[in-house]
């Protein structure tokens, strides 16, 4: 079955799997390079090097190809010196190497305005907004979700309203949040809480409801009471899935970040992006967007790794997909991101 | 014609004496007039059983057998307190039961070990609920694991064990609570044939050493005859007790008895009770789809 690329639900050989994984990043990057570094693909503008005697042109200006040709033709007719230049893409599509450089130089460039935050300060502020938004949401959402999942009473009492509320778009509460919470970070955290909390209650309630009823019955026949079942069976039985839920919900919190940062006074990474766009430093804009993605991806990777430490009883054969296994592989001590001694596995005596 | 069981009480003084001894022991589980009905979607009532009476004596091994869907599980779930009766009463050592409790241990068909706890902590679960100290619970768990032959696995997690080992831990976990009665709902149903045979002998050895009454559900006739003192046969339409068979096969039991006359006659009797001969065997023959030209010489 060596040439069956599209086997349904079939495991791919590891080499091909790795190849595809790299390909999923290399393909879009290659496309970007192709558009950026091949002068005859797209490149709708001409970057003027020497304006010659064309009146409208000045050095360093980007003009549309057609205009450039037309003006040069006119100049030639009038016997004036023609302008020279080379084809370029618009400023909003910087080439990959510029963005790559900006990933590094972005942190070293002094802000243009006095009192303006550095890139790392902007990032730190964004992360703190996310952190507090998610923590506050979880402090309320997790216990509420567990109650709803464990007891029909709370589910009927709380969930219908939340079902309704979660359809209200969180950004719509921006003005309210500012009116109530002021213009600094509080309304931003408020938006993230509104965006996350209601989903969180429902998602967690659903996960808790899926607790295997046989485990609950087993605990009952062992003498467990109602609250003992919640604390000693329902919560531990669903904790690994809850942990995964929380990782996904943290991703949702990130999607509310940009919206929340334009509420009140614009701050954090959004402020940085807006300013750089204003200066037409689009390489810095792309770099900032990529950094947000990297922070999200790496924090999820670390949380996944941490989950393996927290929940050693998880069955290795079930659950994680290819990407999760790659993440786990990257995050395993002794391999991937953490070179060092491998973890000690619980050893079993030979079967009786 | 349905096959009758010879009256072994008259034929064999040993059998009569054995059941006399059992009957002299105190009654552990007393079921009186038990009734369970379900409301069907059409709004009518379906009676699963009505007026079920049963006395189970201390250290007796009772097996419940019957066709699927005839309330075997419902019956023992009511005894365990996981399901409610529509009428009647169940007493354990003279006290009426209400809801589940640690005096009735249960082993389920599915694996119900807590996956987040090690084998030892699983066995300690009930003891810790009772308020026993960590140390003595641990000591007790160790001795029960030793009893089921899993002393070396106390720190393993359930997912590292085979199906048979998981059920042995489940038995240890239920017995550690020192229940008056151990309820087993097709505990070996999910195991392969060899493991099931091992587990059957293993269960008999444990039962020999432990003062516990066992109420055991199975749909496997061999298993019922191999393990039990008496076999409660439940029927369908009308539901309820078909027969309560005293199992004449002498103890100690072994697989060598599978071909003994007692074993075979009990099994044959169970067979006729559970799969009664068709009432109208001479109805219209099914039309025979003619697949080949080979003729009708195939019976």
- B14-61 pLDDT, tens digit each: 889 999 999 999 999 999 999 999 888 888 888 888 889 999 999 999
* Angstroms from A351 CA to nearest CA on chain B: 9
Q: Are strands B87-92 and B95-96 parallel, antiparallel or unpaired?
A: antiparallel
Q: What percent of chain B has pLDDT over 90?
A: 71
Q: Please report, rounded to a whole number, the percentage of residues in chain A having pLDDT higher than 90.
A: 47
Nearest to B159 among A222, A232, A313 (CB): A313
Query: For A316, which residue in chain B has the nearest alpha carbon?
Result: B159
Question: Which is nearest to B179 in space by CA: B26, B28, B63?
Answer: B28
Q: Which two tokens stand for residue B103?
A: 């005096």
Each residue of B257-275: pLDDT tens digit? 999 999 999 999 999 888 8
The order of strands in the sheet holding B181-185 is B104-107, B181-185, B213-217, B61-65, B230-235, B240-246
Which B residues 98-127 touch A at CB under 8 Å?
A: 99-102, 104-106, 108, 110, 112, 114-117, 125-126
Helix or strand holding residue A46 (H, E): strand A45-50
Mean pLDDT of the B183-205 span:
94
Core vs surface per residue B213-240: b (16+ CB within 10 A) or e: bbbbbbebbbbbbbbbbbbbbbbeeebb
C-alpha A288/C-alpha A265 separation (Å) is: 19
Q: What is the model's pLDDT at position A325?
A: 54
pLDDT digits (tens, 9 = 90+) for B199-226: 999 999 999 999 999 999 998 999 999 9
User: Looking at residue A317, what is its pLDDT?
Assistant: 44
Tell me what pLDDT residue A319 has: 46
Among the residue ranges A128-142, A308-322, B142-156, B166-180, the one predicted with the least confidence is A308-322
Instruction: Assign B292 to helix, strand or coil.
Output: coil
Q: Which residues of A touch B81 (CB under 8 A)?
A: 220-221
> CB B105 to CB A312 under 8 A?
no
Q: What is the pLDDT of residue A189?
A: 94
- Tokens read off for A206: 């659903």
Contacts of B98 in chain A (CB under 8 A): none
Give CB contacts under 8 A, 24+ apart, made by A65-68.
Answer: none
User: Cα–Cα distance between B182 and B216 in angstroms, integer?
Assistant: 8
Q: Is A187 helix (H, G, I), strand (E, B) or coil?
A: helix
| Residues of chain B neighbouring A236 (CB-CB closer than 8 A) | 114, 116-117
Query: What is the pLDDT, as a whole number, of residue A349?
Result: 52
B187 touches chain A (CB under 8 A): no
Look at the block and give the residue holding tokens 């003729």: B295
Q: Rounded to whole angstroms, how far apart are CA atoms A261 and A299?
A: 20
Measured between CB atoms, which of B80, B149, B157 is closest to A313? B157
- Spatial neighbors of B63 by CB under 8 A, at least 6 apart, are B216, B217, B218, B223, B224, B227, B228, B230, B231, B232
Select from A224, A348, A349 the Cβ nearest to the Cβ of B129.
A224
Treating both helix axes as pointing N-terminal to C-terminal, what angle do B163-176 and B119-129 enclose, rounded to 10 degrees?
Answer: 20
**Stretch (H or E) spanning A327:** helix A322-331
Mean per-residue pLDDT for A228-252? 93
Q: Is A170 left (phi over 0), alpha (psi -120 to 50) or beta?
A: alpha
Q: How confident is the model at residue A116 (pLDDT cuts 50, 70, 90)?
A: confident
Alpha helices (H) along chain B? 8-11, 13-24, 72-80, 119-129, 134-147, 163-176, 193-209, 221-227, 261-274
Give A339's pLDDT tier (boundaries 50, 70, 90).
very low
Residue B238: cis peptide before it, omega within 30 degrees of 0: yes
pLDDT at residue A182 greater than cutoff 90: no
Confirm or reject contact between B49 and chain A (CB < 8 A).
no
Cβ-proximal residues to B8 (8 Å cutoff; 6+ apart), any chain: B15, B16, B246, B248, B262
User: Buried b / exposed e across B94-105, counting CB within 10 Å, b at 16+?
Assistant: eeebeebbbbbb
pLDDT, tens digit, 9 for 90 and up, residues A117-139: 888 999 999 999 999 999 999 99
Q: How many CB atoms lie within 10 A of CB A235?
A: 17
Residue in B82, B130, B174 closest to A220 by CB: B82
Tokens 């009532």 correspond to B45
CA pair distance A126, B166, nearest whole angstrom: 49
**Candidates B73, B92, B100, partner chain A, best to mutate (most A CBs within 10 A):** B100
- Which of B106, B152, B158 is the closest to A221 by Cβ? B106
Q: With an 8 Å Cβ cutoff, are B115 and A239 in contact?
A: no
When CB atoms are compared, the residue of B114, B129, B153 closest to A223 is: B129
From the list B80, B116, B130, which residue is nearest A223 (CB)?
A: B130
Contact A214 B110 (CB under 8 A): yes
Q: Do B100 and A351 touch (CB under 8 A)?
A: no
Candidates A200, A201, A302, A208; CA nearest to A252 is A200
Distances from the Cα of A48 to the Cα of A85, B124, B228, angstroms: 4, 81, 98
Are the beta carbons of B240 and B49 closer than 8 angstroms?
Answer: yes
Residue B157 to residue A219, Cβ atoms within 8 A: no
Per-residue pLDDT at B278: 64
B182: contact with A, CB 8 A cutoff: no
Yes or no, beta carbons of B129 and A352 under 8 Å apart: no
Q: Please give the backbone phi and psi of residue A337, each rounded to the nearest 5 degrees, phi first.
A: -75, -20
Q: Are B135 and B156 spatial neighbours (Cβ–Cβ below 8 Å)?
A: no
CA–CA distance, A96 with A290 (Å, rounded to integer):
12
What's the rounded Cα separation, in Å, for the pair B184 and B192?
A: 18
Give chain B positions within 8 Å (CB) of A224: 129
Average pLDDT estimate for A190-194: 94
The pLDDT mean for chain A works out to 86
| b/e map A247-258, b = 16+ CB within 10 Å | eebbebbbebbb
Output the six-digit token pair for B38.
């379900």
The CA distance from A309 to the nearest CA of chain B, in Å, is 13
Are A335 and A305 spatial neighbours (Cβ–Cβ below 8 Å)? no
A145-158 mean pLDDT: 95
Phi, psi of B243 (to 5 degrees): -165, 150
Residue A1 confidence (pLDDT) above 50: no
Q: What is the pLDDT of residues B244-256, one digit of tens each?
A: 999 999 989 999 9
Distance (Å, rounded) from C-alpha A93 to C-alpha A151?
A: 54
- Please indicate whether, in this complex, the C-beta atoms of B153 and A348 are within 8 angstroms of each other: yes
For residue A210, what is the DSSP state? T
Beta-carbon contacts below 8 Å between A and B = 84
> What is the spatial distance between Cα B118 and Cα B160, in angstroms, rounded to a whole number?
10
* Pairwise pLDDT comparison (A5 vs A101), residue with the higher score: A101
Query: Under DSSP, is residue A27 helix (H, G, I), strand (E, B) or coil?
Result: helix
**Residue A302, pLDDT score:** 93
Query: Which pairing describes strands B181-185 and B230-235: parallel, antiparallel, or unpaired?
Result: unpaired
| Chain A residues in contact with chain B using a Cβ-Cβ cutoff of 8 Å | 212, 214-215, 217-224, 228, 232-233, 236-237, 239, 311-315, 346, 348-349, 351-352
Please provide the DSSP assignment of A117-179 as one string.
PPHHHHHHHHHHHHHHHHHHHHHHHHHHHHHHHH-HHHHHHHHHHHHHHTTS-GGGGHHHHHH
Q: Pull the structure tokens for residue A303.
A: 């949380």
Judge contact between A209 and A154, C-beta under 8 A.
no
Query: Model confidence over A67-86: pLDDT tens digits?
Result: 999 988 998 898 888 888 89
């Amino acid at each position: 079955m060596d040439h069956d690329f599209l086997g349904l639900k079939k495991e791919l050989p590891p080499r091909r799997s790795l190849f595809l994984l790299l390909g999923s990043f290399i393909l879009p990057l290659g496309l970007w390079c192709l558009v950026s570094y091949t002068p005859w693909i797209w490149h709708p503008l001409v970057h003027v090097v020497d304006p010659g005697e064309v009146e409208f042109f000045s050095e360093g200006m980007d003009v549309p190809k057609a205009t450039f040709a037309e003006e040069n033709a006119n100049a030639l007719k009038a016997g004036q010196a023609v302008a020279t230049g080379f084809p370029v893409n618009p400023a909003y599509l910087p080439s990959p190497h510029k963005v790559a450089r900006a990933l590094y130089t972005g942190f070293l460039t002094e802000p243009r305005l006095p009192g303006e935050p550095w890139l790392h300060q902007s990032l730190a502020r964004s992360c703190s907004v996310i952190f507090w938004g998610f923590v506050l949401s979880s402090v309320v959402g997790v216990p509420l979700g567990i109650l709803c999942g464990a007891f029909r009473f709370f589910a009927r009492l709380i969930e219908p309203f939340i079902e309704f509320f979660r359809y209200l778009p969180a950004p719509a509460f921006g003005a309210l949040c500012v009116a109530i919470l002021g213009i600094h970070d509080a309304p931003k955290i408020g938006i993230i809480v509104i965006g996350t909390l209601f989903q969180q209650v429902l998602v967690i309630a659903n996960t808790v409801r899926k607790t295997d009823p046989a485990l609950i019955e087993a605990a009952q026949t062992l003498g467990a009471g109602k609250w003992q079942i919640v604390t000693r069976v329902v919560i531990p039985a669903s904790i690994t899935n809850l942990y995964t839920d929380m990782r996904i919900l943290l991703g949702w919190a990130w999607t509310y970040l940009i919206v929340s940062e334009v509420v009140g006074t614009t701050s954090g990474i959004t402020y940085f992006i807006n300013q750089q766009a204003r200066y037409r430093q689009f390489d810095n804009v792309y770099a900032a967007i990529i950094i947000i993605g990297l922070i999200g991806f790496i924090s999820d990777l670390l949380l996944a790794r941490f989950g393996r430490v927290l929940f050693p009883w998880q069955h290795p054969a079930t659950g994680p997909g290819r990407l999760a296994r790659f993440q786990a592989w990257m995050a395993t001590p002794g391999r991937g991101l953490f070179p060092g001694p491998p973890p000690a596995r619980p050893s079993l005596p030979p079967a009786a | 014609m349905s096959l009758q069981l010879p009256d072994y009480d008259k034929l064999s003084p040993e059998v009569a004496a054995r059941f006399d001894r059992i009957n002299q022991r105190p009654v552990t589980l007393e079921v009186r007039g038990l009734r369970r009905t379900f409301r069907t979607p059409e709004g009518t009532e379906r009676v699963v059983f009505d007026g079920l009476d049963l006395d189970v004596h201390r250290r007796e091994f009772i097996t419940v057998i019957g066709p699927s869907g005839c309330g075997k599980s419902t019956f023992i779930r009511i005894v365990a307190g996981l399901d409610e009766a529509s009428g009647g009463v169940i007493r354990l050592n003279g006290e009426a039961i209400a809801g589940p409790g640690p005096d009735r241990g249960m082993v389920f068909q599915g694996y119900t070990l807590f996956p987040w706890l090690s084998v030892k902590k699983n066995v300690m679960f009930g003891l810790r609920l009772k308020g026993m100290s960590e140390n003595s619970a641990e000591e007790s768990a160790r001795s029960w694991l030793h009893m089921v032959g899993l002393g070396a696995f106390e720190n393993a997690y359930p997912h590292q064990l085979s199906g048979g080992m998981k059920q042995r831990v489940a038995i240890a976990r239920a017995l550690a609570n020192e229940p008056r009665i151990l309820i087993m709902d097709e505990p070996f149903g999910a195991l392969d044939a060899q493991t099931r045979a091992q587990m059957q002998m293993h269960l008999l050895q444990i039962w020999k050493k432990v003062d516990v009454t066992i109420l055991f559900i199975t749909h496997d006739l061999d298993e019922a005859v191999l393990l039990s003192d008496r076999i409660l046969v439940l029927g369908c339409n009308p539901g309820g007790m078909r027969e309560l068979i005293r199992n004449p096969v002498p103890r100690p039991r072994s697989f060598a008895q599978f071909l003994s006359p007692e074993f075979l006659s009990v099994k044959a009797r169970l067979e006729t009770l559970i799969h009664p001969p068709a009432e109208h065997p001479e109805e219209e023959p099914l039309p025979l789809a003619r697949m080949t030209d080979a003729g009708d010489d195939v019976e």
